[in-house]
Structure 1
Amino acid sequence: MSETIFTKIINREIPADILYEDDLCLAFKDVNPQAPIHFLVIPKKAIATINDITEEDREVVGHLSLVAAKIADDLGVAEEGYRTVMNCNEFGGQSVYHIHLHVLGGKLMGWPPYTDKPKSLE
């Protein structure tokens, strides 16, 4: 796999607004946020797409979700709700070929369309 912008962030070759780091992953604010809260959680291991995840990646991929939930709580959006998204390949909207979990929160979103809007959005 060729080096990506995320590899450069992990290696501190380019700056990022880092929210969390441990041996398995790094989380940082998205530079083009699509919601009031929008950050990415990435594994330090380079895995190109969801299709490239192997059995040995099980722990790190699950860890991404645990870290996302912790940061969402720290940022105060866990109780209201937030969305996690992981895109796969071109038609799935993936633009960086290093898996990454988008976490979006805050009053925002028109998708999915609600048939019965949550009271907090009325």
Structure 2
Amino acid sequence: MTDSRSDCLFCKIVTGEVPAEVVREGERTLAFRDINPQAPTHVLIVPREHYPDVASAGAAGVGVVDEIAREAREVARAEGIAESGYRLVFNTGPGAGQTVFHVHGHLLGGRGLQWPPG
């Protein structure tokens, strides 16, 4: 696990060092397609600022989690899944499946999503 900004894949995507299929750019966020999609729509929404996980982003008290949720709504509208429904998932820690330690929301939709998820 790394939370070093210089080693962070998503920080490198935000700065353009690593290419990604960007679907939406906000002032504080970037949304791009997941390279291993788990649904017809699978977009990652990340803040431009580095936080290792959603818990640390929420604890910072700067509204970044709210911003990710707002951007998810806009991406869902653009992708045509806002009306049928979508899921926004945050994995926090290795035990939950987090593999990149830069907070990111997984926006999933375009198919039925069962519960419980995993």
User: Could you tell me the TM-score, scaled by structure 1's length?
Assistant: 0.85
Unaligned 5+ residue runs, structure 2?
Answer: none
The aligned residue for residue 64 of structure 1 is 68
* Bigger Rg, structure 1 or 2: 1
Unaligned 5+ residue runs, structure 1?
Answer: 114-122
For residues 49 and 81 of structure 1, the distance between their equivalents in structure 2, rounded to whole angstroms, comes to 25
Contact 1:36 1:108 in 2 (8 A): no
* Superposed displacement of residue 22, structure 1: 2.0
- Deviations along 1:16-62, whole A, 9 cap, x unmatched? 000111220000000100000000000011000123122432x2210
1:17 lines up with 2:18 in the alignment: no
Return the match for 2:100 from 96, 102, 105. 96
Contact 2:20 2:32 in 1 (8 A): yes
For residues 67 and 22 of structure 1, the distance between their equivalents in structure 2, rounded to whole angstroms, comes to 8
The aligned residue for residue 105 of structure 1 is 109
Q: Identical aligned pairs, as a percentage?
A: 38
* Aligned-partner residue type, residue 28 of structure 1: F
CA 97–76 in structure 1, closer or farther in 2 if over 3 Å, else same: same
CA 77–40 in structure 1, closer or farther in 2 if over 3 Å, else same: same
* Aligned-partner residue type, residue 40 of structure 1: L
Contact 2:90 2:105 in 1 (8 A): yes
The number of residues matched between the two structures is 111
Q: State the superposition RMSD in angstroms.
A: 1.3
User: Could you tell me the TM-score, scaled by structure 2's length?
Assistant: 0.88
For residues 93 and 86 of structure 2, the distance between their equivalents in structure 1, rounded to whole angstroms, comes to 23
* Aligned-partner residue type, residue 49 of structure 2: K
- Deviations along 1:54-105, whole A, 9 cap, x unmatched? 2432x22101000100110111001011111000001111110000000000
The aligned residue for residue 90 of structure 2 is 86
**Runs of 4 or more consecutive aligned structure 1 residues displaced over 6 Å after TM superposition:** none
Name the SS for the 1:78 alignment partner.
coil
